[in-house]
A and B are shown apart, each in its own frame.
Chain A
Amino acid sequence: MNNTTVWSDPRSGSQIDFDSFKHLAQTAERGRFDFFFLAEGLRLREMKGRIHDLDVVGRPESLTVLSALSAVTTHLGLAATVNSTFNEPYEVARRLATLDHLSGGRAAWNVVTSWDAFTGENFRRGGYLAETDRYTRAREFLQTARELWDSWAPDALPRSDGRFARPGGIGSFEHTGQHFDIRGRFDVPRPPQGHPVIIQAGDSEEGREFAAASADVIFSRHSRLDEGRVFYRDVKSRLAKYGRTADDLKILPAVTYVLGDTQEEAEERAAEIRRAQVGPRTAILFLEAIWGRDLSGYDPDGPLPDVEPDLETDVSKGRAQFRRDRAETAAKWRALAEEKNLSIRELVIETAAPQTFVGTARSVAAEIDRFVQTDAADGFIFVPHLTPGGLDDLVDQVVPLLQEKGVHRTDYTGPTLRHHLGLKELS
C-alpha cells in the first residue's frame, strides 16, 4: 500500500485494519507466493512544508503486523523493510530472529539505507549520517546482525544433563568497527533459517555491489523487459568476485498488473487506474516536486508551465529516491509533452504511473513467463493498486495458468522462505 493505491475505488478498504493485511497475505499464500512484502516509511511525506494529503497514508510497524500474519499463514514468507540508519543492530537482529522463530523460518529483511535529517527528526539519534556513509553503515550493520545470528551455535540448547544451554555455545559477540562498537551476549537463539533472507533494493553502483556481496534477493525497479535484462546481466555478473553463483541472488522487479476479458478492456481499465492515481492536484504536486516552485496557479489540463525549474529549492520531503536530477527530468518532460502534445496531467500520468502487465490473464501469464525465460527476472514483486482485494484476480486467473505451464509451484515443498526461493540452506 503506497501512493499508487487507488482509494477512490468503491472496493478500496482500510489500509490499516489487520483484516486487510490478513486478506492480502492469505490470498498470496493461496497463490503459493514466496513472500509478502511490507515497505517502510518513518515520516509522513510533505509538500511545500505541509503533510501530503492526496494519497493513501497511515501504516503499521511492519515487523509487528508480519508477526501477527505468521499466525494466520503457514508457508508464506514474511518480509519487513527495516532501516539501518534509525535502528541498532542488536535490536534489529533480535526482532528479525524473533519473527523467524515465530514463523518457523519465514522471515526476510529488506535492508534500506535511506536517511535524511527530515526523517531523523522523529528519532533520538537523529539524521546525523552523511550520505556517503549510507552504505558503509548498512554494510557494517548487516555484517553485525549476521555475527549476532551466528553467535548461538545450532546445537546450543541440549536441554539435557540438567543443562538448558551448552557453555560456550551461546551468544558471545564482540564487534568493533567504524559505526558500531558493541559487545556482550546476544539473547535470541539461532533463527531457524540461520539468517533471515536478505533483500536489497539499491540501484546505484554502490547499491548493486552491496547486493552482489550480501543480499539473497534484489527488489528492482527495472520492470521493462529490455532494461530488466540489462540490469539482470549486470548484477549477476558481479557475483563471481564474491565467490557466489547466479543462483545465490534472485532478481525480483516490482511490477503492477491490470487484467481484462479482452486486451481493449484491460487497456481501458489501466487508463482509468492511472487517472485515479494521478488526480488534478496530484499532477500539479508531481510537477512542483520537479520544478521546485509553486505551480498551483497552473491548469492541470493545460500545457506545461513556461517558467524554468528552480533547482535551488526542494519542495518535496520524505520521499525516498526522488528524481536525482531535476533539471534533466524537467527537460525530458518538456520534450515529451511537446512531442505528444500532452497536458500537465496527461504528462504525469504517462511518466509517473507506469504499468507493467496489462492484458488478459493469458497474455499476462505469457508475459510473466517471457521475463523469466529471457533472463529479465527470477520472479516478481507484485504491487497491487487496491487494498485488500488487489491480488484476488491475479491469484484466481493468472496463477493457475502459470501453474499449468509448469513455471509456478502448485504447492509449497518446504517450510522455509529460503527453501521457497531456492537459496542454499545455511549450516
Chain B
Amino acid sequence: MEKTVNLQIQDTKDIDMKKRKMYIRMITASLLRRRSRMIIALLAISIGAMILSGLVTIYIDVPRQMGAQFRSYGANMIVTPDSDRMMPDQVEAVRGLVPDDKLVGIAAYRYETVRVNDRPVMAASADLEQVQKTSPFWLVDGEWPAADGEIMIGKNVARMYNLKPGKRMTCTYAPESETEAGDGETEEVVLDNWVDFTVTAILDTGGKEEDYVYMRTSDMEKLTGEATAYDVCELSVSSGSDELKALSGKISEQVPGVSARLVKRVTESEDTVLSKLQSLVLLVTVVVLALTMICVATTMTAVVAERRKEIGLRKALGASNQSIIAEFMGEGIVLGACGGLLGAILGFLFAQAVSRNVFHSSITLMPWLVPVTILASVLVTGAACMIPIRSATQVDPALVLKGE
C-alpha cells in the first residue's frame, strides 16, 4: 500500500518534471523556430528599454552635470574677514569645510593700492591658477602670469598706460600712512619698494576688474614686504542653494573671524534656470517614454496576434486557456528580460555618449536602473501580449482555424 503511494508521488513528480521540461522546450523551440519574428520583438523591446534607461540616466545626472556648467558664472560664495584681514590658515580652514568633489575653485585675494608712474592703481594678488577656476569667464588676451615678475593688467589700465603684452611696467608700493607723512620720507619708501613686471596678458571682463592689475602672491609679498593676509576669499562650489546656505552657515560658525555670504545673483538665478531645465528634461522623458512604451506594446501585439491560428489549433487539441496563457506569457517574459538587459546596456552607452559629447565628463553608473529597466520591459511586454492572447483564447477554435 505504502509502495503504491510512493510510486504515485514519484509519478506526479516525474510528470511535473516532464511538464516543466516540456514547457521550457516549447518556449525555446518557439523562440528559435520563429527567429525573424522574435528578433523583431526583441529589437522593439530593447529600443524601449534603451530609451528608458538612457533618458532616466540623463534626467538624474543632468542637475549635477549642468550645475558644473553653471559654475562658468563664477564664484557663488564670498568669505570676508570680520576684522581687518584673513590669515592663510583661516582660508585653509574654510577650504577644509568644503567637500572636495563639490569644490570647483577657491581663490583668496589681497588688494593693495600701488603706484604706476605715480598714479594709483589697484593691485590684486591671488593664486592665479585658482582664479582661472573661480572666474572662468575672464577673457585673457595673452598668457596668465606663470612666473614671478609677470603681471596681468585690466583693459582700462592697459589703455591708460598704453601697454601691450610683452611690455614692461614698474609698480611701486607706498603705504598710505607714510605717503601722507611728508615728502622726504615718501621718496625713500618709494625707492625701497618697487618691482619690475613684464605684462603677459590683458584682461577683459566688462566689469570693474578691468581697472585692476593682477599679480602672483609672491610678487605682492616682495612688493609690500609683508606676509600674505587676504581681504576676501571667493569660492565656486557646485551645489544647489540650500546646500550652499548650510555650507555658508557652517563656515561662519566653525571658522573664527570670518563670515561667509552667498552671491545671490549667481545662486538664485542658477536655481531658477536649473529647475526649468530639469523639468524640461523630465517632461521630455515622460512624453518620449510613454510614446515608446506604447510603440513597443503595439509591436508585441502584432507579433502575438499573428499566432491566433496556433492558439486555435492548440485549443482544438485540448489545451486549457491557462496553459496557453502561461506559455505565451513565459515567452513574453523571456523576451522582455533579454530585451530589457540589452536595452539597459545600450541606454547606458547612449547616456555615456551624450555626457561625453555635451559635458566632456563621464556619467555615474546607476546599478539599480538595470533591474528597474528589466522589470519595466517585462511588464510592458507581458501587458502587450495579454491583450491578443485573451482575445484569441476567448474565440471558438473552429472560427480561428477557419481564418475568420
Q: Do A and B bind each other?
A: no
